[in-house]
Amino acid sequence: MREISASILSANHTNLAYDIELAKRHGCNSIHVDVTDGHYTSELIFGVQLVRDLTEATDLPLQIHIAALDQERIIQPFLTTKAESITFQFEPALHPERLIRKIRAHGKRVGIAITPATRYEQVEYYLDEIDVINVLCVEPGEGGQRYNEKVSEKIRKIRAYLDRNQLKTRLAVDGGVNQKNIEVLRDLGADVFIMGSAIFSGA
């Protein structure tokens, strides 16, 4: 089943509960929360208290994406929240296997995110151990960016690999996803469409 996840990075941060309810009424299946440290990314956004509050404010599942340098430390408090899943950024992860085990041990679904420049072969080893591979179609940490067409071939290759090996790992696309390209991304094989500006700003 295909899924639309609303990224609150592009929502009105002074009225998140309202925007999330609006996203739900328009058919979104989950909420995507980016957590960044201002070091790996240029911006510092969202923290564990917000995640705790949002799990009480909505019944939509929360999917956390950690894009930070010291991921092992930053992930720790999120493990005890009611978030459904935690995705970590592959590039700064020193011990991906350890992060996978840690997240899984707390009963959460596990994802790995890769930037536009990262070749999917670098994470191929882990694809049978995770629940979702999140292909970033823009650089992490800033909303409203334009979809990078160079990523399309990578999405197609990952879909082929997952199907060839009969893996149930879901393929998510994140960044620049909108009403104009969502059908193309679906045809390339994406399962989960993470959308921010297209939902909250109509972009």
Alpha carbon separation from 192 to 1, 20, 43, 64, 71 (Å, rounded) = 9, 18, 25, 14, 23
Tell me the average pLDDT of the chain. Answer: 94
Give yes or no for a contact between 175 and 117, defined as CB atoms under 8 angstroms apart: no
Please tell me whether the overall predicted TM-score, pTM, comes out greater than 0.85 for this model.
Answer: yes
* Predicted local confidence at residue 202, as pLDDT: 60
* Predicted local confidence at residue 36, as pLDDT: 92
Cα–Cα dist 57/20, whole Å: 9
Q: How confident is the model at residue 113 (pLDDT cuts 50, 70, 90)?
A: very high
Domain holding 166, by residue range, is 3-200
Assess whether pLDDT exceeds 70 at residue 176.
Answer: yes
DSSP symbol at 142: -
Cα–Cα dist 74/109, whole Å: 17
53 has catalytic annotation = no
| Residue listed under structure tokens 């992060």 | 99
Cα–Cα dist 70/83, whole Å: 20
Q: What percent of the chain has pLDDT over 90?
A: 84
Cα–Cα dist 100/111, whole Å: 8
The enclosing domain of 94 has a CATH number of 3.20.20.70
CA 167 to chain centre: 19
Rounded average pLDDT over 56-70: 95
Give yes or no for a contact between 88 and 111, defined as CB atoms under 8 angstroms apart: yes
* Predicted local confidence at residue 43, as pLDDT: 82
Beta strands in 10-102 (DSSP E): 30-37, 44-45, 62-67, 85-89
For residue 52, count other CB atoms closer than 10 A to its CB: 17
Tens digit of each residue's pLDDT (9 = 90 or more) over 33-61? 999 998 888 788 899 999 999 999 999 99
Q: Which of 19, 37, 131, 174 is catalytic?
A: 174
Q: Which of 34, 37, 131, 191 is catalytic?
A: 34
Cα–Cα dist 193/76, whole Å: 26
Tens digit of each residue's pLDDT (9 = 90 or more) over 120-166? 999 999 999 999 999 999 988 666 678 899 999 999 999 999 999 99
Amino acid at site 163: D
174 has catalytic annotation = yes
Residue length, the chain?
203
CA 76 to chain centre: 18
Cα–Cα dist 20/166, whole Å: 34
Q: How many domains is the chain built from?
A: 1
CA 201 to chain centre: 19
* Predicted local confidence at residue 151, as pLDDT: 96
